Amino acid sequence: MKKTIIVFLLLAGTMLSYAQRPGGTIPFDCPDVPPVKFQFNLNHELIALISTTEPFDAVENLYVHTYDAEEGLFDKLVEYYGEKLNQNRWESFAADENWQISVLNDSGPEDTCTGIFAIVKSRSEVHLLNVVGQIPKEQIGALLANLNVIGIWIPELRSLDGTFELPNIQTEPAISETEEILLDKKPVTMLRMPEDSPNPFVQFSGTMQETHPTDWTYHGQPIRKIQIQAHTKSRGVSNKERVNAVKDVFFGNIAPQEGSDDLAVLLKKLSNSDVAKFVQKVTINTGEKWVKIYLEDITNKDGLIPLSKRYYTHNGDAIDEIQVEGNRSVELDEIVKMLEDGPVEIEAAAQKLAESIPEFEDIQVSIKKSGLQHIATINIIEKSLPLSTYTTTIPRIGFNRVTGWELGARVETGLRSQKRDNITPFEFDWYSNIPIEKDNSKLFAQFGYGFGNKQLYYRIGGDRIWGENGKWNLGLSAQFQRAITTIAPELFAGYDETGTLFLRIVGVPDHQDYYLRNGAEIALQWQPKRSINFNLSMLWETHESLHKTTDWHIFNLWSSSKVRENLVITPGNMRSINFKFDSNDRYNYLGWHNTVLVEHSNRNFGSDFDWTRFQTHLRYAVPYRNNQLRTRFVLSSVVGKPAEDHFSTAILPIQRQFVIGGIGTLNGYPLYTFAGDHGYLFNVEFLIGLPNFNKINVLNFINVNVLNNIHVVLLFDQGQVWNELGSDRHFKPKGSVGIGLQVASEVDIFRFNVAKAFEAEQGIQFNLMFFYSF
């Protein structure tokens, strides 16, 4: 009955006239659009008959048009209404690929807005929504997310409930004898380096406000309250940190000076501090005895860097963002300096940039509109850098229970593009002098000696690379090797990490197992762009088992405890062809990383094995405020015949089997608990961000970045393994749950996990690691 009444009221509302539309209204007048599928025009009286609760009691009028989602309609509406909203001084609220939301605050109290305009694309429809009224800012998300209460169903807006906060849209206050604007910075253009920036997630807006009592004066007038407000559009930026930084200036070690100008002294102190770059506006009202400080998002995180001024097109349109593409050899600071020293017209500024930096041959500028924003793209064409020869030697130290202590070095010689003029054509040193370009043609030889098993290991080979460094390349590689390799490196990461070496030395159980590869490998690699990699390789080698040679670690010097034995593999001749596709667009360990692998081994090649295995490995990590959700799914299968000389129900040799159990896989089980021909693995990790501990008073003496990036980790794992010829091929997954603590910096992490399998007989598992599980 209630739904019938709602539908009746909506239909009645559509018969009302548009004649007396209040401010905050945008007419739905885009030309050449499909016929309106649904149309709702509701005034305050009709809405009150349906709901009188917040936030709908503040709505004066609500207009909705719904169209069939024809090809290109959403983009057309965004472009048309974007220009109209921009002309009427509407501000962008939030956007993603399926919706654009703008707000207006041209009158009324400071904590309200007078209009909301949204364009929303669903699977089969496109919606236009215009809400008019005196709507409290903190209720915007709840209003849009709960339109179903008044009979309007737009599920794409449900995610806004509590997720976004309306940015503070500051209007110019009226200047009176008691109110003074001490600072009002103009908007600046942001610079983005797309190659160094993460994938675009949903745009984010967040606002934080704190008010504190004071006992100050300003030119003899008492000031009783300070309000600090911070706004950000970046998930990686903490409003709390910036508000605390301002509070440190006003309430920190230097107390307000006595006398009539004590607040002026503090404001001068603020202007000379590192916090000054965050301050967008300062307003003081001696009549109401308050001072307000507004902080804006000018961080260089997420690939955005604020420039010192606003840039414009030759038509006078303000540029909101400049994207720089094609730069490979010039430091970012140099580009920023040249732009800021140049004119404000973007075309002229780009021309000056090309003339000022000798590495640039030409620069092309293009302007596009994205919603309400004007984005300028500067495409840099660099001069070809001369090739120079180099030789470098890199020492290496290692330790594990198979080789014991291992000492070695890598010698590399090749060609690279040389930017620095003070480097001679021939270099030789014992430091890690890595080439400027990672993908360069070279010859290399890597040697190592294991003092535990008293064996020599080596890799000798070379790479021939064609292409444009940083954009695309085609490479041919070949090597001969007698080298140690880990089992299932795609699932058990971190062998070469320095932190993992440290764990082995101090006695943390080694999560790797090792075997010996002796033979040759040839590979053809194609990278159409940096994030995509196709690899075709051929192996011609023998595999041998390795055995534990030492139980040593620092905390085992005066005891006789034993470390875990090394896993015995299936020995034999391995002749195989591998195809691997890898797509990795991660930045700071966030984003997608997907891999598809096909490997074929055949006795006709002289191999002891005959099978084809397939593996798909999907990894995704997404941030949410100070939290992260990390997921992984792996599916592995095989077709073929078991080895003739080995008695097993498995087709694959042990070193190629799908192995799960232990750190990073099924965390609640011991290492390598399950192994077989077929299997799947599903992992979910939810990282919950903790407060920034170095802002707590008792830890004020600590200033370490890792204390700003601490997470509690909730783990869930599920997986199963079975053999092609085995009897147990039913769906019987194994699972575990756990909790961990992760401390991270920009380059390193440390994680401690505690996990328990669902099976009662399995004990609690503990592990430490210096790397992400996936």
pLDDT in tens, 427-466: 333 333 333 345 688 999 999 999 999 999 999 999 999 8
Mean pLDDT of the chain: 78
The CA-CA-CA angle for residues 588, 590, 591, to 5°, reads 135
Instruction: Name the one residue in this structure whose structure tokens are 């762009």.
Output: 529
Per DSSP, what are the bridge partners of residue 481? Answer: 459, 519
Query: What pLDDT is recorded for position 106?
Result: 66
By the 10 Å C-beta count (0-12 exposed, 13-18 middle, 19+ buried), 705 is classed as exposed
Query: What pLDDT is recorded for position 144?
Result: 84
User: What is the C-alpha to C-alpha distance for residues 380 and 328, in angstroms, rounded to an integer?
Assistant: 9
**Span 408-420, pLDDT tens digits:** 999 999 887 655 4
Residue 187: band (very low, low, confident or very high) from pLDDT cuts 50, 70, 90 = low
| Res 44 pLDDT > 70 | yes
Residue 53: band (very low, low, confident or very high) from pLDDT cuts 50, 70, 90 = confident
Q: Mean pLDDT over residues 579-608, rounded?
A: 91
State both tokens at 692: 């920034």
Q: Which residues of 633-671 are buried (b: 16+ CB within 10 A; e: fewer)?
A: bbebebebebbeeeebebbbbbbbbbbbbbbbbbbbbeb
Q: Name, in order, each residue with C-beta under 8 angstroms of 394's C-beta and a sequence gap of 6 or more.
A: 409, 410, 411, 412, 431, 432, 433
Coil, strand or helix at 253? coil
Closest to 740 in 3D by CA, of 704, 708, 765: 765
Q: Mean pLDDT over residues 500-512, rounded?
A: 85
Q: Which residues of 427-438 are buried (b: 16+ CB within 10 A; e: fewer)?
A: eeeeeeeebbbe
Query: What pLDDT is recorded for position 533?
Result: 93
| Residue 302 CB neighbours (<10 A) | 20
| Res 67 pLDDT > 80 | yes
Query: What pLDDT is recorded for position 108?
Result: 63
Q: Mean pLDDT over residues 242-256, rounded?
A: 66
User: What is the C-alpha to C-alpha distance for residues 66 and 129, in angstroms, rounded to an integer?
Assistant: 9
Is 37 in contact with 28 (CB distance < 8 Å)? Answer: no
**Span 216-240, pLDDT tens digits:** 887 778 888 888 877 654 444 456 7
Pick the more confident residue, 694 or 84: 84
Residue 176: band (very low, low, confident or very high) from pLDDT cuts 50, 70, 90 = very low
From 101-110, 259-268, 764-773, the region with the lowest mean pLDDT: 259-268
From 14-18, 29-33, 671-675, the region with the lowest mean pLDDT: 14-18
Largest Cα separation within the chain, whole Å, is 97
Query: What pLDDT is recorded for position 18?
Result: 40
Per DSSP, what are the bridge partners of residue 598? Answer: 579, 614
Could you say which of 2.60.120.860, 3.30.300.30, 2.40.160.50, 1.10.1370.40 is the CATH number of the domain covering 570-774? 2.40.160.50
User: What is the C-alpha to C-alpha distance for residues 655 and 753, in angstroms, rounded to an integer?
Assistant: 27
Is 562 in contact with 539 (CB distance < 8 Å)? Answer: no
| Res 26 pLDDT > 50 | yes
Residue 693: band (very low, low, confident or very high) from pLDDT cuts 50, 70, 90 = low
Q: Mean pLDDT over residues 584-594, rounded?
A: 85
Q: Which residues of 716-746 are buried (b: 16+ CB within 10 A; e: fewer)?
A: bbbbbbbbbeeeeeeeeebbbbbebebbbee
Is 206 in contact with 232 (CB distance < 8 Å)? Answer: yes
From 43-47, 411-415, 690-694, the region with the lowest mean pLDDT: 690-694
By the 10 Å C-beta count (0-12 exposed, 13-18 middle, 19+ buried), 27 is classed as exposed
Is 217 in contact with 260 (CB distance < 8 Å)? Answer: yes
User: What is the C-alpha to C-alpha distance for residues 772 and 625, in angstroms, rounded to an integer?
Assistant: 19
Which range among 88-102, 315-329, 483-497, 505-519 has the greatest average pLDDT?
505-519
| Res 195 pLDDT > 60 | no
State both tokens at 726: 């085995």
Is 24 in contact with 133 (CB distance < 8 Å)? Answer: yes
Amino acid sitting at position 201: F
* Whether the bond into 194 is cis, omega within 30 of 0: no
Task: Give phi and psi for 609, each to the nearest 5.
Answer: -130, 155
Residue 182: band (very low, low, confident or very high) from pLDDT cuts 50, 70, 90 = low
Instruction: Name the one residue in this structure whose structure tokens are 């300003």.
Output: 218
| Res 184 pLDDT > 70 | no
| Res 355 pLDDT > 60 | yes
Query: What pLDDT is recorded for position 527?
Result: 92
User: What is the C-alpha to C-alpha distance for residues 35 and 744, in angstroms, rounded to an integer?
Assistant: 54
Q: Locate the domains of the chain by residue range.
A: 2-160, 179-295, 307-382, 384-568, 570-774
State both tokens at 560: 């006789």
| Res 479 pLDDT > 90 | yes
Query: What pLDDT is recorded for position 561?
Result: 83
Query: What pLDDT is recorded for position 742?
Result: 92
Residue % of the chain over a pLDDT of 90: 30
From 382-391, 498-507, 674-683, the region with the lowest mean pLDDT: 382-391
Instruction: Name the one residue in this structure whose structure tokens are 């230097």.
Output: 254
Query: What pLDDT is recorded for position 674?
Result: 93
| Res 303 pLDDT > 60 | no
Pick the more confident residue, 184 or 258: 184
User: What is the C-alpha to C-alpha distance for residues 582 and 259, in angstroms, rounded to an integer?
Assistant: 67
User: What is the C-alpha to C-alpha distance for residues 579 and 117, in angstroms, rounded to an integer?
Assistant: 50
Query: What pLDDT is recorded for position 704?
Result: 46
Query: What pLDDT is recorded for position 332?
Result: 76
Pick the more confident residue, 139 or 525: 525
Residue 703: band (very low, low, confident or very high) from pLDDT cuts 50, 70, 90 = very low
Coil, strand or helix at 559? coil
Q: Mean pLDDT over residues 707-714, rounded?
A: 83
Query: What pLDDT is recorded for position 17?
Result: 36
From 207-211, 327-331, 455-459, 740-744, the region with the lowest mean pLDDT: 207-211
Which range among 360-369, 434-443, 572-581 has the greatest average pLDDT?
572-581
How much is the pTM? 0.58
From 138-142, 180-184, 331-335, the region with the lowest mean pLDDT: 180-184
Q: Mean pLDDT over residues 693-704, rounded?
A: 45
* Residue 466 falls in which region: left (phi positive, over 0), alpha (psi -120 to 50) or beta: beta
Instruction: Name the one residue in this structure whose structure tokens are 């080596």.
Output: 458
Q: Does domain 307-382 have CATH number 1.20.140.10?
A: no
Residue 544: band (very low, low, confident or very high) from pLDDT cuts 50, 70, 90 = very high
Query: What pLDDT is recorded for position 424?
Result: 39
Is 607 in contact with 627 (CB distance < 8 Å)? Answer: no
Closest to 416 in 3D by CA, of 329, 497, 332: 329
Task: Give phi and psi for 662, each to the nearest 5.
Answer: 100, -165
